[in-house]
Chains A and B, each alone.
Chain A
């Protein structure tokens, strides 16, 4: 069973960079057919897809966040990461990492999720 676990600071100052890592167990980030994804949720609100990365390093970002987002994959450590720069209070959210299955026909969907980690942007 694939498991994902987010880690990183729970508090980030405005204008700084939010950095999170997602450790994968029970599966490999090098598996074909899967993307490795970040999604966030403002507490009590809706979900926002941030982007995903393939094992090759190819990235796909939400255009609304693209200018501030960097994702990387580390196959040797079986993990992937998210950096979001120039953060503001609007970036305060629960950040989830997930494995996203790319199926033939009609798209992709996250089938395994981490538990989520709350990141607060505040001075």
Chain B
């Protein structure tokens, strides 16, 4: 099984800060990595797919990088509406495993 570990589990940032969330896979998943944003009471929304491709309609302040086992999601200038939980997910294995989530709070 592939395990996906995100860090940190939570973080607090001020408007305008640059924020980076890390996701690590226990084995090589090439670029089969997606990032999602979830707000309370709603289903997740895809931000990035294929490790670095921005989903249509997603603000350009979101970006993704990485390959193999190490990936990052960066928000270049955090906005109040970015308060949410962020998940990574691999689509390489049969389990399509999600990370445990990173909760972003805006100060």
Contact = CB atoms under 8 A, between A and B. Distances in A.
Nearest to B4: A46
Contacts of B31: 105-107
A107 B99 contact: no
A106 B51 contact: yes
Given A46-B87, A47-B89, A106-B32, A113 B43 contact: yes
Contacts of A16: none
A106 B98 contact: no
Contact of B43 (A101, A103, A108, A114): A114
Main secondary structure of the interface of A (DSSP, over half): strand
Interface string B45-74: 110011100010000000000000000000
Interface residues of B, number: 28
Contacts of B89: 47, 49, 109
A71 to B, nearest CB: 14
A54 interface: no
A99 B83 CA distance: 25
Contacts of B100: 46
Contact of B94 (A63, A98, A103, A113): A63
A77 to B, nearest CB: 22
Interface string B18-49: 00000000000011111000000011111001
B11 interface: no
B15 interface: no
Nearest to B50: A106
Contacts of A107: 31-34, 49-50, 90-92
B91 A109 contact: yes
Interface string A96-123: 1010010101111111011110000000
Interface string A34-69: 000000000000111100000000001111100000
12 contacts: A47-B98, A49-B95, A63-B95, A98-B43, A106-B32, A106-B51, A107-B92, A109-B34, A109-B46, A110-B46, A111-B46, A113-B44
